Each structure stands twice: as structure tokens, then as C-alpha cells.
Amino acid sequence: MHSSIGYVTPHQMRYGHASAIFEQRNATLQRARELNPERWGARPARTWEINREVVLNPAEK
């Protein structure tokens, strides 16, 4: 798992499982926010989505 691919495994990303995982995460976070609004305050909940471009070892600019 790596932050660049949303903390899913490369296998999950490659074989299309990431979308379902992110949908479940977003639903869980939304539900938690609705049940405990005082915990979240005014900050927006994190929204997980697929990062279409991942660069390993990017060239220095």
C-alpha cells in the first residue's frame, strides 16, 4: 500500500477493486460525520478517489 495510490495494494488498483474500496471508504466517512458532527467540526471529510497518474521516481525539476 502506498499513499500515491490511495492506500490500496497495487493488485487492487490494477484489477479495478480500488473504486469499490474508495466508495466504501467515502460512505463510511460520510456516515461517521453524520453520526458525530462535533468530532469533525467545520473541516470537510476526506474524499477518496482514484489517482489516474502515478509516477515512480519522478525526475527532478
Residue 18 CB partners (closer than 8 Å, separation 6+): 5, 6, 8, 12, 50
Determine the pLDDT at residue 45. 78
Rounded CA separation 30/26 (Å): 6
Determine the pLDDT at residue 61. 60
Return per-residue pLDDT of the chain as tens, 61 residues: 667 778 899 899 889 999 999 999 999 999 999 999 898 888 887 888 887 776 778 787 6
Determine the pLDDT at residue 18. 92
pTM: 0.74
CA 6 to chain centre: 4
Name the burial class of residue 29, with classes exposed (0-12), middle (13-18) and buried (19+) by CB atoms within 10 angstroms of its CB: middle
Domain-wise residue ranges, the chain: 3-35
